[in-house]
């Protein structure tokens, strides 16, 4: 019996995607061509690094980094 396919929802700015076979956040960023240095990554309300392992049904929210003052 094979591994259960991972499908996650990704929210960034005003857009949403359902991505299949993205097992880490790094996969998500690569599929959407987003530079990890420009966003903060949250999964289910917790900030995570790009190596974070995703589970089926996870909601990944990307937030643009702000640095001004």
Partner 1 sequence: MDLNRWERQLPLFKQGSSDQKRLLKAKITVIGAGGLGSAFLYYTAAAGIGSLQVIDYQTVEISNLNRQILYSHHDIGRKKVEAAALRLKALNPGIKIETIDDRLENAVSSIERFGPDVIVDCTDNLESRISLNRLCLQLKIPFVYAAIEGWRGLTGAVYPQQSSCFECIFGDKDSVKKVPPVIGVTPGFAGIIEATVAIKMLLDEKPLYNQILFFDLEAFSFKLLRTKRKSGCGACGG
**CA separation for the pair 62, 44 (Å, rounded):** 11
What is the total count of residues that contact partner 1 (CB under 8 A)?
Answer: 17
Find the part of the chain contacting partner 1 (CB under 8 A) among 2-10, 22-30, 36-44, 52-60. 36-44
Q: Does 5 bind partner 1 (CB under 8 A)?
A: no
**Residue whose CB is less far from partner 1, 18 or 67:** 67
DSSP per-residue string spanning 17-66: EEEES--BHHHHHHHHT--GGGEEEEETTEEE-TTPBP-TT-EEEEEE--
The binding site for partner 1 (CB under 8 A) comprises 35-38, 40, 42, 45-47, 49, 63-69
């Amino acid at each position: 019996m094979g591994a259960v396919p991972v499908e996650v929802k990704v929210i960034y700015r005003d857009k949403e995607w359902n991505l299949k076979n993205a097992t880490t956040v790094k996969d998500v960023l690569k599929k959407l061509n987003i530079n990890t240095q420009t966003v903060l990554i949250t999964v289910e309300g917790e900030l995570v690094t790009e190596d974070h392992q995703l589970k089926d049904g996870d909601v990944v929210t990307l937030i643009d980094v702000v640095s001004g003052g």
